């Protein structure tokens, strides 16, 4: 699933809560078809907005505690953090432009 940084319970505070730029978290799993569908869009946006937004990924199979902390009940789920707090959240597979719309006004 792409080259995005893997977010874990160990680096969550540093990478998300203390981030000076917005952070988009992609909650996914390797067995999830819709997750694989949006993965290229998420990766492209990470490249296009490098330095303006941080895009990270959480494999819910490996980081179930982090998924539970965010109340993740279906994947893919995208969660946007800004200034250390959840700004918005979206569930399901969406076109690239809809994913971008989640954070465009904050970068």
Active-site residues, by number, are: 32, 35
The answer to whether 18 touches 54, Cβ cutoff 8 Å, is: no
Q: How far apart are CA 24 and CA 74, in angstroms?
A: 17
Nearest to 72 by CA among 82, 60, 86: 60
Q: Where are the beta strands (DSSP E) in 1-107?
A: 5-6, 23-28, 54-59, 77-82, 85-91
Strands 54-59 and 23-28: parallel
């Amino acid at each position: 699933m792409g080259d995005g940084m893997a977010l874990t319970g160990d680096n969550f505070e540093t990478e998300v809560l203390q981030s000076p730029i917005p952070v988009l978290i992609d909650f996914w799993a390797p067995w999830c078809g819709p997750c694989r569908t949006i993965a290229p869009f998420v990766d492209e946006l990470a490249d296009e907005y490098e330095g303006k937004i941080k895009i990270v990924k959480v494999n819910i199979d490996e980081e179930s505690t982090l998924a539970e902390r965010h109340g993740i009940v279906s994947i893919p789920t995208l969660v946007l953090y800004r200034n250390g707090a959840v700004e918005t959240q979206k569930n399901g597979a969406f076109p690239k432009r809809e994913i971008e719309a989640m954070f465009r006004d904050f970068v």
